[in-house]
Amino acid sequence: MLQHLTIPRGPIDLAADLYLPDSIDDAAPLRTVVLSTPGSSVKEQIGANYASRLAARGIAALVFDPAHQGQSGGEPRDLEDPYRRGEDISYAIDALSTIPGIDPERVGVLGICAGGGYAVHTARTDHRIKAVGTVVPSNMGTSFRSFQPDGASVALDTMADARIEETRSGELTRVNWLPDTLEEAEAVGLTDIDTTQAITYYRTERGRNEHSTNRRLSRGDSMLLGYDAYHLVDQLMTQPLQVILAGRIGNTGSYESGMQLWKLAPNPVDLMVIDGAGHYEMYDEPEYVDDAVDRLVNFYSNNL
């Protein structure tokens, strides 16, 4: 069963979908997982693939569009603010506590790619979250800092100048998360398998969604550069942790990020590496997603 929800988030609303098991025992409130999705994705994409499978296995799952993105409110559009992404999760948990049949004492999170870092960062200080699951988790701060050829501090100087110009002109700059086509990627020399698979997922019929713009507001990049999703994890994130990684190590950094998280966490419970899978194949390839969900269901069943 699928319910469309509107989640109050201060002056704006988040658009969300709540996936419920087809068979519900009214006498037994449901354990529920809130999904935190990759950067640029919307609720109908990767989040839906995992949420629908969790619900089919008896675990309610809530997936939402981040503030400023998809069908959620918030201006300016296309902002990827890692701190607001974490707050979105807490607002989603607020909403769950008001829904009949949901057990507010049995709420977990599942973070995928960048959403894995956001979920971890939130769980450190929101202990309403009782279990933390991650699939190919990424620390967006580490990723963004690694992309800067002249270093993060030089990039921040450039961004400061650009924001002054934006303020003067009144025109906000947006950039692509990915090339829009495989041809565009090839033209600029981006032919590695991970970039190719990312474009194939996000920008073709395989995974494209009309509400996913593939654009990122440039002024948010300075926040990403200063972000560390794993800051104080070793001291504050006491919840049970599940890490699921793709066995084919590519250039996304998620394998390395996941192993770092595993070593930092005070209460690591289960580590799974799916042989043969690439990062983006964990988004929708049935063989790999089903394997991951099987393990996640066991984790949440034992820890929520």
The total of other beta-carbon atoms located within 10 Å of residue 116's CB is 31
Q: What is the mean pLDDT of the chain?
A: 96
User: Does residue 127 register a pLDDT over 80?
Assistant: yes
| 3 state SS of 268 | strand
Cα 37 to Cα 113, 223, 289: the distances in Å are 7, 18, 14
Q: 61 is written with which tokens?
A: 């799952």
Query: What pLDDT, on a 0 to 100 scale, did the predictor assign at position 24?
Result: 73
Predicted confidence band at 26 (pLDDT cuts at 50, 70, 90)?
A: low
Query: What pLDDT, on a 0 to 100 scale, did the predictor assign at position 273?
Result: 98
Which residue do the tokens 């972000």 mark?
227
CA quadruple 69, 131, 301, 95: dihedral sign: negative
Q: 291 is written with which tokens?
A: 């394997």
Mean pLDDT of 80-90: 97
The total of other beta-carbon atoms located within 10 Å of residue 2's CB is 11
Query: What pLDDT, on a 0 to 100 scale, did the predictor assign at position 203?
Result: 94
Q: Partners of 108 in the beta sheet?
A: 33, 131
Query: What pLDDT, on a 0 to 100 scale, did the predictor assign at position 178?
Result: 95
Predicted confidence band at 27 (pLDDT cuts at 50, 70, 90)?
A: low
> 114-125 and 254-264 are packed helices; what angle lies between their axes, rounded to 10 degrees?
20
Query: What pLDDT, on a 0 to 100 scale, did the predictor assign at position 67?
Result: 98
Query: What pLDDT, on a 0 to 100 scale, did the predictor assign at position 28?
Result: 83
- Backbone φ and ψ for 129, nearest 5 degrees, come out as -75, 120
User: Does residue 25 register a pLDDT over 80?
Assistant: no
Residue by residue, DSSP assigns 205-252 as TTT--TT---EEEGGGHHHHHT--TTTTHHHH--S-EEEEEESS--SS
Question: How far, in Å, CA of 186 to CA of 222, rounded?
Answer: 28
Mean pLDDT of 206-221: 95
Contact criterion met (CB below 8 Å) for 282 and 293: no
Which residue do the tokens 């959620």 mark?
72
Q: pLDDT tens digits, residue range 224-269?
A: 999 999 999 999 999 999 999 999 999 999 999 999 999 999 999 9
Q: Specify the pTM.
A: 0.96
Q: Convert 194-204 to b/e letters by CB count within 10 Å (16 or more is b).
A: bbebbbebbbe
CB-side exposure of 241: number of CA atoms within 13 Å?
27
Q: pLDDT tens digits, residue range 270-301?
A: 999 999 999 999 999 999 999 999 999 999 99
- Backbone φ and ψ for 190, nearest 5 degrees, come out as -95, 85
Task: Say which CATH architecture domain 2-148+227-303 belongs to.
Answer: 3-Layer(aba) Sandwich (3.40)
Q: pLDDT tens digits, residue range 153-191?
A: 999 999 999 999 999 999 999 999 999 999 999 999 999
Query: What pLDDT, on a 0 to 100 scale, did the predictor assign at position 216?
Result: 96
Query: What pLDDT, on a 0 to 100 scale, did the predictor assign at position 84?
Result: 97
Question: How far, in Å, CA of 109 to CA of 130, rounded?
Answer: 8
Query: What pLDDT, on a 0 to 100 scale, did the predictor assign at position 159?
Result: 96
DSSP state of 71: T
Cα 261 to Cα 123, 148, 204, 253: the distances in Å are 13, 23, 32, 12
Contact criterion met (CB below 8 Å) for 132 and 124: no
Query: What pLDDT, on a 0 to 100 scale, did the predictor assign at position 23?
Result: 79
Q: What percent of the chain has pLDDT over 90?
A: 97
